Structures are given as C-alpha cells and as structure tokens.
C-alpha cells in the first residue's frame, strides 16, 4: 500500500514541480507513532524557500483530494531535502561530484559497508569515492547496484 501511495504521489507531484522549475527529490509515506506523514522533498539550484514549498503543497493537496488514495488521516509535508540530501538517482551522484557523502552498501566492499568520502566520479554505473584513512587517501569504487542508501554529508573543518 505504501509503495502505491508513493508512486501515485510522485505521478501527481512531478508535473507541478516541473511547472515551477523545481526538482522532485523524494517522496515517502511513513507512520510515526499514531500519525501518518506524506513527505515530499523538492529542490532547485540555490535551494527552495517556504513559498516554493507552500505552492507545491497547495497544488498537490488539491490533486490528492481528487484521487483520495490514502484511507487514514495524514499530514502532507513539502520541504527542502536539507543539507544531508538523499542521493538516490544516478543523476544525483553525477550532479554532486566533488561533494562529501555517506554511502552504505548492501554487501561489504574492501571489508566495509559504510563509507564517508568525496564523490570523485560517477561513470559506467560506478561511484568512485575518495576516502581518508588517518592521513592517507584511498579510492573506493562502488557499483550503483550495491548502494543501499546514500546522502550528502556535512563536514566540519
């Protein structure tokens, strides 16, 4: 049921965000405590503001009311993906070459499943991360199919 709601919401939201020159980053439908939340994350070059989120929320809410895909009460939240934005699509990895990221894999690569490093490249369905081990740098190549989850990571110097 949850996947159907996410897919339908993506289908309804995509034309709205495209019309506003925004990017649909992610949609999730989750239960937290007694409440259900339908979260829609949008972005644009330079970041989104509260007015962008408000406009998407109003238009998407109308579309969702027409289709009425969710039987229980829920909260619709439209927001920026934040500084630790999820990286899901191939285009996300290409776009954020040079950025610091966290990557978790389905299975170990060089004995590890979790990596923090700078995205060096994303080519031929392989992500190359430059990671630091104490004072030296090492490159790790991770096949896209082995990435369980990834997001941008904040660094403090």
Tens of pLDDT, residue by residue over 103-149, are 999 999 989 999 999 999 999 999 999 998 888 999 999 999 999 99
Tokens of 129: 């991360």
Asked if pLDDT for residue 1 goes beyond 70, the answer is no
CATH value of 90-152 in 1.20.1250.20, 2.30.30.180, 3.40.309.10, 3.30.710.10: 2.30.30.180
69: left (phi over 0), alpha (psi -120 to 50) or beta: alpha
Residue in 116, 117, 108, 111 with CA at minimum distance from that of residue 143: 108
Which pLDDT score is estimated for 46?
86
- Residue-wise pLDDT tens digits, 64-113: 998 887 888 899 999 999 889 999 899 999 999 999 999 999 999 989 99
Which pLDDT score is estimated for 72?
84
Distance CA 14, CA 23 (A): 8
Would you call 16 helix, strand, or coil by DSSP? helix
Residue range 2-79 forms a domain whose CATH class is: alpha beta
Domains of the chain by residue range: 2-79, 90-152
Asked if pLDDT for residue 157 goes beyond 70, the answer is no
Task: Kindly state the helix (H) or strand (E) to which residue 53 belongs, with its residue range.
Answer: helix 50-67
């Amino acid at each position: 049921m949850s996947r159907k709601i996410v897919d339908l919401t993506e289908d309804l939201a995509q034309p709205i965000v495209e019309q506003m020159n925004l990017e649909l980053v992610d949609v999730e439908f989750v239960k937290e405590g007694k409440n259900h939340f339908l979260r829609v994350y949008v972005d644009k070059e330079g970041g989104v503001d509260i007015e962008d989120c408000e406009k998407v929320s109003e238009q998407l809410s109308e579309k969702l009311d027409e289709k009425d895909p969710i039987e229980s009460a829920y909260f619709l939240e439209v927001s920026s993906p934040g500084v630790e934005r999820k990286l899901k699509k191939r285009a996300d990895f290409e776009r954020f070459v040079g950025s610091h990221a966290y990557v978790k894999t389905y299975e170990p690569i060089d004995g590890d499943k979790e990596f923090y490093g700078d995205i060096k490249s994303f080519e031929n369905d392989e992500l190359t991360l430059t990671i630091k081990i104490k004072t030296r740098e090492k490159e790790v190549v991770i096949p896209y199919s082995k990435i369980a989850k990834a997001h941008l990571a904040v660094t403090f110097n």
